[in-house]
């Protein structure tokens, strides 16, 4: 049977008299020359690790005591332009947790070393496993008494063991994962841990410990204060070589102790943001200081972390804490 022809009105809609039912707009952030890549890169799927999202994001209050939380936390981890272009996974990671007694916030920011094709797993284990272990340690240890070298040694051993098991399950030959260095060639990660006191007279005190070039800063009065030496400062040619777990540097770094007060921001970041930030005095520093004088919404924060700037195409991860 022939269908009844449908009558479709071709009349133009009447003049709109109502106010538009939506507002808002989005424009990517850019600092200086954005380069060609942001507009031209075609983001490719990674078919092997299809389950891994390009973006991880959190925007929460931490240290809730009745009606007065201690701080606003923003965290974003974003796959870099280069990994989007080449179809590689995001290898950066973050994790955070408040101890059950509500006394401490424990954070980790990790940067899986790109040379290893399984490094995102090292970043995942190093961050989640490490944060979990720190929470356990903090049950009966004050943060100033944490034995950090021992702690990272244990995390390194866990990453190595989990990595070796994983590689063996995926067809890598036992003779190719015999040494720590061999495992590290397939999966390795920088780690930066922070334990922040959320209550009492120590509130705002942060104990920070890291392996590799992931960095910690305090943003105060619009100025960036690095809490470790600046990477590649004074180098003639650029080098991206970095120490990363499961390998440990011959000389372990000192613990960084700092304090963050209301009006200031404690910021942990991978080199995807740390490199363009440089020594914290240029236009990227100005941009982020301006945008982060107050905690932005989660999605805005992610867009700011993803700012465009020519040649800076690495994964980017930032965890920032605004004590209230």
Partner 1 sequence: MSETRGTLLPFYLVVDVSYSMSGSKIDAANDMIVRVQDELAKNPILADKVRFSVIDFSDDARVLLPLCDLLERGVTVPRLTVRAGTSFAAALRVLRTEIETNVKQLKGDSFKVHRPVVFFLSDGMPTDPDADWQAAFRDLTHYDPATGSGFRTRPNVVPCGVDDADPRVMQQLIFPATGEKQMRMYLMDRGEDAANAIGSIAQVLISSILSSGVSIAAGGSGIMLPAAAELPGGVHEYTADDQDFV
Tokens for 66, please give them: 């009745």
Q: Contact between 36 and partner 1 (CB under 8 A)?
A: yes
Rounded to an integer, what distance in angstroms lies between the CA atom of residue 234 and that of residue 200?
42
Tokens for 113, please give them: 């070393």
Q: Contact between 276 and partner 1 (CB under 8 A)?
A: yes
Q: Does residue 156 sit in helix, strand or coil?
A: helix
Q: Contact between 275 and partner 1 (CB under 8 A)?
A: yes
- Positive or negative: CA dihedral 38, 44, 49, 51: positive
Where does this chain touch partner 1 (CB under 8 A) — which range of 3-11, 35-43, 49-57, 257-265?
35-43
Element housing 169 (H / E): helix 148-169
Q: Contact between 285 and partner 1 (CB under 8 A)?
A: yes
Size of site (CB under 8 A) for partner 1: 40
Element housing 81 (H / E): helix 81-86
Q: Does residue 182 sit in helix, strand or coil?
A: helix
Which of 30, 41, 157, 255 contacts partner 1 by CB under 8 A? 41
Rounded to an integer, what distance in angstroms lies between the CA atom of residue 90 and that of residue 46?
10
If the CB atoms of residues 190 and 205 are measured against partner 1, the closer one turns out to be: 190
If the CB atoms of residues 202 and 230 are measured against partner 1, the closer one turns out to be: 230
Q: Contact between 278 and partner 1 (CB under 8 A)?
A: yes
Where does this chain touch partner 1 (CB under 8 A) — which range of 59-67, 112-120, 251-259, 288-296?
112-120
Q: Contact between 243 and partner 1 (CB under 8 A)?
A: no
Angle at 148 between CA 145 and CA 153, to 5 degrees: 145
Element housing 76 (H / E): strand 71-78
Omega prior to 246 cis, within 30 of 0: yes
Which of 27, 140, 236, 251 contacts partner 1 by CB under 8 A? 236
If the CB atoms of residues 77 and 91 are measured against partner 1, the closer one turns out to be: 91
Where does this chain touch partner 1 (CB under 8 A) — which range of 14-22, 127-135, 155-163, 232-240?
232-240
Residue listed under structure tokens 């290898």: 91
If the CB atoms of residues 117 and 259 are measured against partner 1, the closer one turns out to be: 117
Where does this chain touch partner 1 (CB under 8 A) — which range of 28-36, 59-67, 149-157, 165-173?
28-36
Cβ neighbors of 175 (< 8 A, separation 6 or more) are none
Bridge partners, 321 (sequence order): 73, 266
Residue listed under structure tokens 């102790």: 257
Which of 30, 32, 132, 293 contacts partner 1 by CB under 8 A? 32
Q: What is the DSSP letter of 15?
A: P
Where does this chain touch partner 1 (CB under 8 A) — which range of 15-23, 65-73, 110-118, 297-305?
110-118
DSSP for 36-56, written as a single string: SHHHH------STTTTS-SEE
Q: Contact between 284 and partner 1 (CB under 8 A)?
A: yes
Site string for partner 1, 55-94 (x = CB under 8 A): --------------------------xxx-xx-x------
Which of 102, 158, 228, 232 contacts partner 1 by CB under 8 A? 232
Q: Report CA-CA distances (Å) from 268 to 85, 274, 294.
A: 26, 9, 16
Q: Contact between 277 and partner 1 (CB under 8 A)?
A: yes
Tokens for 46, please give them: 């990674």
Which of 64, 161, 281, 297 contacts partner 1 by CB under 8 A? 281
Task: State the residues that interact with partner 1 by CB under 8 A.
Answer: 32-33, 35-37, 39-41, 81-83, 85-86, 88, 113-115, 232, 236-242, 275-279, 281-285, 309-313
């Amino acid at each position: 049977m022939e269908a009844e022809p449908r009558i479709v009105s071709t009349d133009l809609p009447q003049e709109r008299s109502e106010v538009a039912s939506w507002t808002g707009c989005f424009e990517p952030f850019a600092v200086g020359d954005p380069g060609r890549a942001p507009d031209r890169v075609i983001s490719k799927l990674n078919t092997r690790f299809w389950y891994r999202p390009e973006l991880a994001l959190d925007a929460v209050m931490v240290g809730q005591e009745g009606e007065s939380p201690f701080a606003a936390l923003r965290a974003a981890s974003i796959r870099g332009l280069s990994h989007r272009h080449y179809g590689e996974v995001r290898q950066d990671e973050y994790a955070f947790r408040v101890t059950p007694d509500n006394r401490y916030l424990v954070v980790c920011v990790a940067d899986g070393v790109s040379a290893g094709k399984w490094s995102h797993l090292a970043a995942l284990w190093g961050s989640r496993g490490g944060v979990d272990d720190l929470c356990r340690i903090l049950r009966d240890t004050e943060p100033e008494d944490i034995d950090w070298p021992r702690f990272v040694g244990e995390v390194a051993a866990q990453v190595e063991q989990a990595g070796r098991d994983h590689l063996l399950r995926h067809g890598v030959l036992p003779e190719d994962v015999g040494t720590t260095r061999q495992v590290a060639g397939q999966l390795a990660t920088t780690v930066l841990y922070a334990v922040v006191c959320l209550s009492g007279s120590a509130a705002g005190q942060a104990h920070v410990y890291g392996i590799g070039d992931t960095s910690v800063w305090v943003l105060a009065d619009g100025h960036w204060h690095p809490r470790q030496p600046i990477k590649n400062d004074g180098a003639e040619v650029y080098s991206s070589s970095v120490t990363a777990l499961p390998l440990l540097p011959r000389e372990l770094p000192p613990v960084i102790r700092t304090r963050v007060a209301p009006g200031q921001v404690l910021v942990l970041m991978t080199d995807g943001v740390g490199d363009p930030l440089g020594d914290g005095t240029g236009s990227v520093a100005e941009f982020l200081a301006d945008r982060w004088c107050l905690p932005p919404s989660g999605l805005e924060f992610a867009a700011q972390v993803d700012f465009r700037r020519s040649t800076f195409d690495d994964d980017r991860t930032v965890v920032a804490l605004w004590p209230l």
